[in-house]
Structure 1
């Protein structure tokens, strides 16, 4: 054993792991940046055990990796190591430190990750995982969001199909994927069946399914008769089979969306931070759950409201060089977090006067709707961060900017 390898005088080492689907390339370097060992482990229990065994042998405490989730990260954290996440976009830029080509290579990327941990440790934030309840809630919310996107896509396919098969149904009710629209299509799948309808028969059918819409049956029947005719006869029957296939698909997706919504409600009810997010204006169960899930419960991840706002992408990116100063849209963000925050902020203006004023002022300055919503979201994140870090619910009576605005309105009214 050399003098550098003695337990009391061992050189500090770091490691980088280039994450992949089946195999992970690993590089261990010493304090001078020289590779100590390079190896590959499989994405199996035995492979991850071997990874930790080799890291233990070299005394590696800090590991750089491109993503912050998955079994490999869980294995590293369970072994007591500090995991430092370096996004792929940064790794791509860092490759040019070591050569002008900047080519992608798994073994080389593992070295880049390890050396970045060695040289830029003070700029990297250790990975802090949320609690299991928050992680589960996040997966539920994201799965529901994906299914909603599938429902929209299937509905658009149905709408395109109905342009030929049955145009009268497309704009008959408000939404093509609403329960009444789907029930109508299930009963009247072709032009031949729709031709059977009269105002009286349509009114009777609507009453039998409990339709409570405001449109008069006579008006609905007029929409049917004024629309272009769809396919009839044998051709219409063939297209009706396609209509039923789309209906079954959409109905199955809707059923699973409702099942996930029920699970989200149960998970949110049991979460210790639920009162923080459910107290926000126009924050129903799903919206509160998304905000909670995307912000998380690891308080150390966001030491300031600005750090939360930057990751959420609701503050611009500023570049300056000489006399030139460019303020641009921030692209390198957590898009799921930005979507959740902007969804909440955009709707909050309908019930909160302070939010409405901030939004309207932004629009009056010439900003478009998305930009104005991001400005409002940035302001909301200051409040949400304060509630989140102190564990207190949002109280409009304690919101000083809101109270000043309300008092001004009362003064003007008086």
Structure 2
């Protein structure tokens, strides 16, 4: 008898339902989110025919967590069902719109019973690839968090301390520079900046790690900061300085977190065997390569062909046709992290690859906007990456863009 399992997970407990090949509820159980509860689940599955050679498939509405990791240890197929899909399946079995945790578990079990071929199990990625995914996503989240704090800090400085923004304007992402953060910690207000000495600024720059041009840089900062400017009343200015210092401590911690996670991501990524192939592509550095590896994994059976990978990334267009209506446009359901990395990759490849630049120019001449042309270039290079990873070959410019290179020449 074919058995399928559905798990409705929650923070403190999980509801389990087993359904037979006719859709009938065979067994149900509520377990705690503990190791003892996980063992109860394994015992229940074993009672109903779960073996190492023929494991019972499990459907659950998440793809992460200790429960999912515990279920995947024995090679059991685990299907992460989108909650919106589960809600649509629930409406198939009744019109009253009733809902309960045990009922949702049975719905998930029946999804695998009826439409198992329409859903994909979680990819069988290696432990190293999973670790790269954790680090790369954490580093990407840290970068986004740093940018948010940078915007808040910039907005606050614009209100009462525009000279500080003028001093960092010569640097790209100037507020993220350790020299800027060190000086702002010393002179948080225009009042203190008016009294600061050049040796004090030199000390701050040395503390930030600067080793060259310290005197000249301190002189530049002092000249800008001590230029007469409009100011708030002293009490208000000091209060805003306190606010800025609090925000600066958060921002400094975010900057150090980004750097630490970037180092850890690079170390893990370079240990992966796919890194050599990925780094052979123009415009694809360590951090972008790690982000792409984090989203596509190293399970070669995950995508049947390059078209599946392109659709997953949102690089391939989608067609909607009904009667006389025919529409071809960009995908809205996609892996947003992968598409974000793809835009950065495509943009950086314009200066690193003559063929990529020629492809982009051809798409712009064809009428595509900047974003559409980059997405089309990402679509092509993603197919090339899929081929190189499958065949373990390095990127070759003449093979990837033979016609475009000849036309450009």
TM range (shorter): 0.7 to 0.9
Shift of 1:221: 7.3
1:25–1:106: 8 Å Cα contact kept in structure 2? yes
Q: Deviations over 1:65-84 (max 9, x none)?
A: 22223222222233443222
Shift of 1:388: 1.1
1:159 correspondence with 2:160: no
Distance 1:364 1:203, change over 3 A: farther
Q: Structure 1: how far apart are the matches of 2:360 and 2:229?
A: 42
Q: Determine which of 21, 26, 34 is the counterpart of 1:36.
A: 26
Distance 1:20 1:328, change over 3 A: farther
Shift of 1:373: 2.0
Q: Structure 2: how far apart are the matches of 1:26 and 1:88?
A: 16
Alignment gaps of 5+ in structure 1: 1-10
Distance 1:103 1:113, change over 3 A: same
**Equivalent in the alignment of 1:307:** 308
1:190–1:232: 8 Å Cα contact kept in structure 2? no
**Equivalent in the alignment of 1:22:** 12
**Equivalent in the alignment of 1:406:** 405
Q: Structure 1: how far apart are the matches of 2:166 and 2:96?
A: 56
**Equivalent in the alignment of 2:66:** 71
Q: Deviations over 1:172-201 (max 9, x none)?
A: 323223233223322322212333479x99
1:294–1:336: 8 Å Cα contact kept in structure 2? yes
TM-score by length of 1: 0.85
Is 254-263 or 180-189 further displaced after alignment?
180-189
1:129-278 matches, within 5 Å, as 129-174=124-169, 175-196=174-195, 228-231=229-232, 233-278=234-279
**Equivalent in the alignment of 1:96:** 91
Distance 1:130 1:176, change over 3 A: same
1:294 correspondence with 2:284: no
Q: Structure 1: how far apart are the matches of 2:124 and 2:407?
A: 44
Is 244-253 or 325-334 further displaced after alignment?
325-334
1:312–1:333: 8 Å Cα contact kept in structure 2? yes
**Equivalent in the alignment of 1:4:** none
Q: Deviations over 1:244-283 (max 9, x none)?
A: 2222222222122211122122212221111011111122
Shift of 1:293: 1.9
Is 17-26 or 274-283 further displaced after alignment?
17-26
Q: Structure 2: how far apart are the matches of 1:80 and 1:219?
A: 62
Is 123-132 or 216-225 further displaced after alignment?
216-225
Distance 1:365 1:205, change over 3 A: farther
Distance 1:50 1:204, change over 3 A: closer
Is 139-148 or 227-236 further displaced after alignment?
227-236
Shift of 1:383: 0.3
Distance 1:23 1:326, change over 3 A: farther
Q: Structure 2: how far apart are the matches of 1:230 and 1:94?
A: 63
Q: Secondary structure at the match of 2:86?
A: helix
Shift of 1:94: 2.0
Is 203-212 or 146-155 further displaced after alignment?
203-212
Shift of 1:371: 2.6
Shift of 1:225: 7.0
**Equivalent in the alignment of 1:338:** 339
1:300-379 matches, within 5 Å, as 300-379=301-380
1:16–1:27: 8 Å Cα contact kept in structure 2? yes
Distance 1:330 1:227, change over 3 A: farther
Q: Secondary structure at the match of 2:309?
A: helix
Alignment gaps of 5+ in structure 2: 51-55
Q: Secondary structure at the match of 1:120?
A: helix
Q: Structure 2: how far apart are the matches of 1:267 and 1:232?
A: 52
Shift of 1:216: 9.4
**Equivalent in the alignment of 1:57:** 47
Q: Secondary structure at the match of 2:125?
A: coil
Shift of 1:387: 0.9
**Equivalent in the alignment of 1:5:** none
Is 11-20 or 365-374 further displaced after alignment?
365-374
1:64–1:83: 8 Å Cα contact kept in structure 2? yes
Q: Structure 2: how far apart are the matches of 1:217 and 1:64?
A: 62
